[in-house]
Chain A
Amino acid sequence: MQLQEQPTQQADAIDLMVNMGPQHPSTHGVFRLVIWVDGEKIVRSEPHIGYLHRGSEKLCEGEQYSQIITLFDRLDYVGNLNCELAICMATEKLMGIEVPERAEYIRVILCELNRIASHMLFYGVYGLDAGAMTPILYGFRERERVQALFEAVTGARMMHNYIRIGGVNEDLPDDFQPRMDTLLDQLERGIEECDDLLSQNEMFLARTKGIGAISAEEAIDLGVTGPALRACGVPEDVRISEPYSIYDRFDFGIPVGTYGDCWDRYYVRVEEMRQSLSIVRQAMKQLPEGEIAANVRRIARPPKGEVYLRTESPRGDFGVFLVSDGSDMPYRVKVRAPSFCNLQALQAMLRDAYIADAVIVLGSIDIILGEVDR
């Protein structure tokens, strides 16, 4: 870390500028945070992003609709399937395509498993941020199981490129049902184990309770969504407030926090994994036989128009604004990345915090730089 003196207006106090990142293991990617401290207290902080800017939105303008899906995989590289789902659903809405039942169920099952895998990664690295080595081993063990299933279904552990406009790429493997039965039982046990291991740990509580709290009004004003908003006590979930796909057929709750501090943001995610598991169980019971893709022309040409579609990704409200001019390539694609907006709240969360809490607060937002920078 590099230290530099920063002159201030006050004559007797000298604020120190502390630079964190861009290459720093606790920033979860290439992210730079500049903090001005007065003793141990953070006076001001300034996030710097853009180190991973690849111009994804512009790249989309030069690809056909079916080719964009793979670019969306690389936005939120921990919740890939949720990103794929968003762009495919936006195109379908524009073209007015009806997706077969079975495909909808496959999508929901995989997306909810993806949410569990993403939250398991958060759980593991958040333990590391707080100084606990063990949680990451448990978190990754569970994540690994989900990824093994993804490999069996989609052929890839991470960049799946599985969801297609009008359906999914291929049908489920023959041994899907028995695999899911074991996986769901293992995950259920795993989530309880993870919860027992960290959530009520005395030292973990001391590091996270009451740290980095923001009020609900402030969070809404800053555009915070997802678990970070629900931790403030706002029961807002796109899956319930504006149900997309077939989410209105399942019975599940929205976990909300009380104080909007780091622990609430952590525990909302743990609870969400249980809810996701319950959705997957319900979907597995209802999973119908039938077609897995609608009959769509290989080169999709949506009509002229624009659509804004939002989905609930593991990190929050993932929106796609798609403008079509009637050709085979989109005219404009704008991605509303949840991490991008949630990261804006970092300055507010770090207000009056101590420098030792900076990493804890940053970790609790659960950013993925791939979608922040796009």
Chain B
Amino acid sequence: MARPPRREPTIPEAPVALDSMGEALTSTLAEVFGPEWATQIGAAIDEVTLTVPADQVAGVCITCKTDPRLDFNYLRCLSVVDYVEASAEFEVNYHLYSLDKRHKMVIKTRLPEDSPAVPTVTGIWAGANWYERESHDLFGVVFDGHPDLVPLLLYEEFEGFPGRKSFPFHDYEEW
């Protein structure tokens, strides 16, 4: 008797569970970013996500900080995720928090693999400075307008971008 063909395992997705604050923020975001913005509101587990095209990042970030309904005065984290294998893109995540309103969200933007460039947010949150230098170091993402995009964690002569998935894991040479 022939065995049935092996099924590919289905990978489950983490369920979305926004709290009341997250739901309130979702409706506020829909108000603030009207149809003139090319933004998309979503959710990842308990965090509200705002997907933005790269050319609107600066505008969205300024609005997020200055709009009294949002008031995101604290940039918690800026990170880059390598999705080159799946879609030839890098994703930049800006995790924001409001110290007064106590709500949180994440701004996401996708950059093409061949020219990953996004405007800097150092003018909006000064704390972004080192994050952007680090991301430039490890992933080669260029932050246009950054005051001093020199290597931070790596040494000056280092070649390649060790954060990327394409960077060899264990077979690098010692220097």
Contact = CB atoms under 8 A, between A and B. Distances in A.
Contact of A223 (B74, B104, B151): B74
Interface string A226-264: 000000001010000110000000000000000000000
Interface string B72-102: 0111110101100000000001010001001
A55 to B, nearest CB: 6
Given A50-B151, A50-B155, A310-B76, A344 B47 contact: no
A93 interface: yes
A221 B129 contact: no
Interface string A55-74: 10110011000000000000
B81 A304 contact: no
B127 interface: yes
Interface in A294-327: 302-308, 310, 317, 319, 321, 323-326
A323 B47 CA distance: 13
A41 interface: no
Given A50-B152, A306-B44, A341-B130, A58 B162 contact: yes
B126 A332 contact: no
A222 B122 CA distance: 10
A323 B99 CA distance: 25
Contacts of B13: 303-305
Interface residues of A, number: 46
Interface string B11-33: 11111000000000000000000
B162 A221 contact: no
B169 interface: yes
In this complex, the interface size class of chain B, counting residues with CB under 8 Å from chain A, is 35 or more
Contacts of B167: 58
A308 B153 contact: no
Contacts of A62: 169-170
A220 B96 CA distance: 12
Given A55-B162, A310-B76, A303 B127 contact: no
A81 to B, nearest CB: 22
Interface string B25-53: 00000000000000000001111000000
Chain B residues touching A, majority SS: loop
A173 to B, nearest CB: 36
A239 to B, nearest CB: 13
Nearest to B152: A50
Nearest to A50: B153
A116 interface: no
Nearest to A326: B11
Given A222-B126, A223-B75, A344-B130, A241 B102 contact: yes
A340 B130 contact: yes
B11 A303 contact: yes
A336 B155 contact: no
Q: Which of B12, B73, B128, B153 has the most CB of A within 10 A?
A: B153
B12 A336 contact: no
B44 A221 contact: no
B152 A319 contact: no
Contact of A321 (B79, B152, B153, B162): B79
A305 B14 contact: yes
A223 B45 contact: no
Contacts of A310: 76
A191 B50 CA distance: 46
Contacts of B116: none
A96 interface: yes
A344 B129 contact: yes
Interface string B137-173: 0100000000000011111000000110101011000
A304 B45 CA distance: 11
B73 A321 contact: no
Contacts of A55: 162
Given A58-B162, A305-B45, A49 B152 contact: yes
B77 to A, nearest CB: 4
A209 interface: no
Given A221-B126, A308-B77, A341-B127, A332 B14 contact: no
A224 B151 CA distance: 22
A89 B46 CA distance: 14
B64 interface: no
B111 interface: no
A53 interface: yes
Interface in A28-79: 49-50, 53, 55, 57-58, 61-62
15 contacts: A50-B155, A94-B45, A220-B74, A221-B126, A234-B99, A242-B104, A303-B13, A305-B44, A307-B47, A308-B76, A317-B76, A326-B12, A331-B81, A334-B77, A344-B126
Interface of B: 11-15, 44-47, 73-77, 79, 81-82, 93, 95, 99, 102, 104, 106, 125-130, 138, 151-155, 162-163, 165, 167, 169-170
Given A50-B151, A307-B46, A334-B77, 4 more contacts: A57-B163, A93-B45, A242-B102, A304-B13
- A-B CB proximity, top 3 nearest: A223-B127, A305-B14, A326-B11
